[in-house]
Amino acid sequence: AQDLGMLAAAGVTAVPVHARPRVAIVSTGDEVVAPETPELLAGQVRDASSVALGAIVAEAGGAADQRGIVRDDPDALRAALGAALSDSDVVVVSAGSSVGARDETATVVAGLGEPGIWCHGLALRPGKPTLLADCDGVPVIGLPGNPRSALVVFRLVGVPLVRRVGGCTHAPPEPVVRARLERDLASAAGRLDIVQVRVRDGVATPLFGASALLSILTAADGYLEVPEPATGLDADSEVWVTLYR
C-alpha cells in the first residue's frame, strides 16, 4: 500500500507490471466427477482439489484456468495436457490416485516436450508420488490424487513456482507462530514431514488421519515441518507453525 502512495506522491499513476501467470488445472480419474454432481454412484468422488488449488493459485498471484476432468485414458490425457501447455505458463495435474493411473500420467507427460520429467517422487510426506517436469519451458506439476496430499504439495512446491513464473523474486512473509509440541512425533530420517496442527494457548496438537482426509486440513490452524534428517520431534520441543490464512 505504501508503495502505491509513494508512486502517487511522485505523480506516477501507471507502472509496468508482470502479467499474472496462467495456471492450467487438469483433474484426471474415471472416478472423479464435477462438484455440481447431486448424487454419487458407488466409487465416485467429487473433484475437491481443483477449486481448492484455484484458490491457492490466486493467493500466489496467478490466474487459475480450470480445464475440467479428463478420464483415465492416455489419448484423452495427451490431448488435454497438450492443449493446456499451449496457452499456459504452468500446468497442474491432479493425477489419478491408483498407481497405474499415475504411471500413465508420467508416460504421457514424458512425451509432451523436452527435457521432460525432472523427478517422479519426492522425499516428502504426504506428497511422495509427486511428478515434476519441464515440457519445452512450461513447468508441469503432477500432484497426488488425494486432495490433502495435493494441497500440501502444491503449497510447498507449486506456490513458489507460480510466484517465480509471475516475476516475484521475494516471497511475501508467511504468518508463523511459535508453539510447544504436545506429544512425540515420529518421522523417518531422509524425508520431510508436513504435520497439520491445532494451536491453542501456545500448544501445538498434531492432527492425524488418512491422507485423503480434507477435514484434517480444515480443522488445522497450520502446519509444522519435521526436517529431513530428523527421526522425529520430542514432546515439549519448541516448533514453528506456519498458519493457514
Name the pairing type of β-strands 232-233 and 185-186. antiparallel
- x/- letters, 199..228, toward a copy of itself (CB under 8 A): ---------------xx-xx----------
Query: Which member of 2, 99, 169, 201 binds a copy of itself (CB under 8 A)?
Result: 2
Q: Is 236 in the site for a copy of itself (CB under 8 A)?
A: no
The single residue listed with the C-alpha cell 515434476 is 132
Of 11 and 16, which has the nearer Cβ to a copy of itself? 11
Please report whether residue 43 would count as binding a copy of itself according to CB under 8 A.
no
Q: Does 123 bind a copy of itself (CB under 8 A)?
A: no
Report which of 1, 172, 31 is spatially closest to residue 101, judged by C-alpha positions.
31
Q: Of 62, 126, 127, 147, which one interacts with a copy of itself (CB under 8 A)? A: 147
**Cell numbers at residue 218, please?**
480444515
- In the complex with a copy of itself, the residue whose CB is nearer, 118 or 240, is 240
Among 23, 25, 56, 224, binds a copy of itself (CB under 8 A): 56
| Binding site residues, a copy of itself, CB under 8 A | 1-13, 35-38, 40, 45-56, 59, 147, 151, 172-178, 214-215, 217-218, 243-245
